[in-house]
Structure formats: structure tokens, C-alpha cells
Structure 1
Amino acid sequence: MDYKKMLGNPYDLIDEVANEEEKKYFELDDILVDIAVTLINYRTKNNLTQKDLAKKLGCTQAMVSKLESGEYNPSIEQLWKISSALGLEFKVIFREKEQNVTVWDTPEDNIFTFNFVGEAA
């Protein structure tokens, strides 16, 4: 059974039931999930524990846990320091929306990229 077709795109459901303020939180959650997935993938690919990764980043294991769970919203500076410490590329792309569609790049090997897409003033 093709569950993707049966379930559909979760963002379609969000668009139907969420108000504009709630949609903003879903966009933020997407960014935090991308950060978490990138860190978890890096850590597992390099056979590191959270404690090992924390040592490499110069932070605590608790902070790595919060980053990997999406509980912590790091600053741009913190993300840049993390990417530098791990030898990952870090980009922030801040541009106008295209046809009101939010586009997020998925993390790839050795790339730490987030496209923050918003409306121009």
C-alpha cells in the first residue's frame, strides 16, 4: 500500500486547518528539524556519541541533546560556529517567496544549508 498517496502531503493539512500564526511555527519547526537531522546524521556517520560531539563543539552533552531534539533554537552565530567546528558548509538564504510556496533544502552530506523564505516588505 502506498501510504504517501493515502496520507498525502502533511503541509496540505496544515494549510487547511492552521491559522497564519500557527503556520509560522510549523516553518520554524522545519528549520529546527533540519538542524537536528544534520547533527544526528553527522554524529552517526562519524560514529560519535552526543558526548563526543559536544566535546568537538565545545559545549555540553545536554546542549547537543537539545539541538538534536529540536528543543533549542540556536542563533545564526551558534549555527555558524557549529558548522565551522564540523567542517560543514553553512548558508542562510533570505529571499522573497516564490508563488507563496515555502521551499526548504534538505540536509546533504557535508552541507549545512537553510533557506529562510519570507515575504518582502
Structure 2
Amino acid sequence: MLNKELLASPWDLVNELADDDLKQLFELDDILVDISLKIINYRIDNNLSQKQLAEKLDISQSMVSKLESGEYNPTVEQLWKISKKLGWSFKVIMEDEKSEIQQIWDIFDSYDSDEMCDISQRAIKLGESA
């Protein structure tokens, strides 16, 4: 019988056996796979071929294939454009590993500068209360 504790998390194994460079590669691959799965699931859920999705995104079918492979590292701008065309919100979250403080950048399209200022102030206050 398999020891479930040994199989609890593949990240435990990576953290134990890999050096820092390899850990970083695993982390990047994990992000790229998440992106590819989001795009694949959207395409399948909407019964689209890669060619049809490419037309919707105004990119080539080969670019859709690259994005779905998980081996292509798209730019933030590319991801933002894809999210807008698919009706998704787009957020970049960066966390300080030591203090667990989060900084969140949201892409706001419909807010004027006064509303953005108010939102920024609320975010600052939220960070102070953490």
C-alpha cells in the first residue's frame, strides 16, 4: 500500500530535492500551465476550434497552440489583451514571501481618476490593517 503522506504534495518533494534555480523553473512552469488550462477550458467550454479562438483573439492559430502548450511565456500585455477579448478580469498578484503582504494590480477600464484614487486609498488602508 502507498504511503499517502509521501504523496501529499509534489511541491514538498520539489522543495526538498531541487536547488533554487530548479524551484524557480517549476514555479514558472506551474504558472504557464495554469494559463494554458484557462485558455483550453475556455475554448472547449465554448465549442471553439483553435482557429476560431484565434480569430476571436485576433492572433494566429499557431499562437493559440503555443499558448495552450504551456511552453510559451506570454507577456503581460498579451495576457491582458486576451482577457479583455474573452471578458475576463485580469489581475497580477505579487506576494512578499516573508511578510505575506499582497500587492494587487487590477486592470480597471471603467473608473475615472477620482474613483481610482478612492480605490487606491482603500487598498492602502486594507494593507495597513493586515
User: Does the alignment reach a TM-score above 0.5?
Assistant: yes
Could you say which structure has the higher helix fraction? 2
Classify 1:6/1:67 alpha carbon distance in 2 versus 1 (closer, same or farther; 3 Å): same
Structure 1 position 72 matched with structure 2 position 72: yes
Inter-partner Cα distance in structure 2 for 1:3 and 1:47: 41
Inter-partner Cα distance in structure 2 for 1:87 and 1:4: 40
Greater RCO structure (CA 8 Å; 6+ sep): 1
Q: Secondary structure at the match of 2:47?
A: coil
Classify 1:6/1:19 alpha carbon distance in 2 versus 1 (closer, same or farther; 3 Å): closer
Q: Secondary structure at the match of 1:94?
A: strand
CA-CA distance at 1:8 after TM superposition: 2.3
| TM-align CA RMSD | 2.1
Aligned match of 2:119: none
Q: Secondary structure at the match of 2:74?
A: coil
TM-score after normalising by structure 1: 0.75
Question: What is the one-letter code of the residue matched to 2:59?
Answer: C
Q: Secondary structure at the match of 2:90?
A: strand
Aligned match of 2:60: 60
Could you list the runs of 4 or more consecutive aligned residues of structure 1 that deviate by over 2 angstroms after TM superposition?
Answer: 1-8
Aligned match of 2:31: 31
Aligned match of 1:13: 13
Classify 1:85/1:3 alpha carbon distance in 2 versus 1 (closer, same or farther; 3 Å): farther
CA-CA distance at 1:16 after TM superposition: 1.2
Question: What is the one-letter code of the residue matched to 1:68?
Answer: E
Q: Secondary structure at the match of 1:66?
A: helix
Query: Over alpha carbons, which structure has the higher Rg?
Result: 2
Aligned match of 1:95: 95
**Aligned length, in residue pairs:** 100
CA-CA distance at 1:4 after TM superposition: 6.2
Gaps (5+ residues) in structure 2?
Answer: 101-130
Inter-partner Cα distance in structure 1 for 2:26 and 2:40: 21
Classify 1:6/1:20 alpha carbon distance in 2 versus 1 (closer, same or farther; 3 Å): closer
Classify 1:12/1:43 alpha carbon distance in 2 versus 1 (closer, same or farther; 3 Å): same
TM-score after normalising by structure 2: 0.70
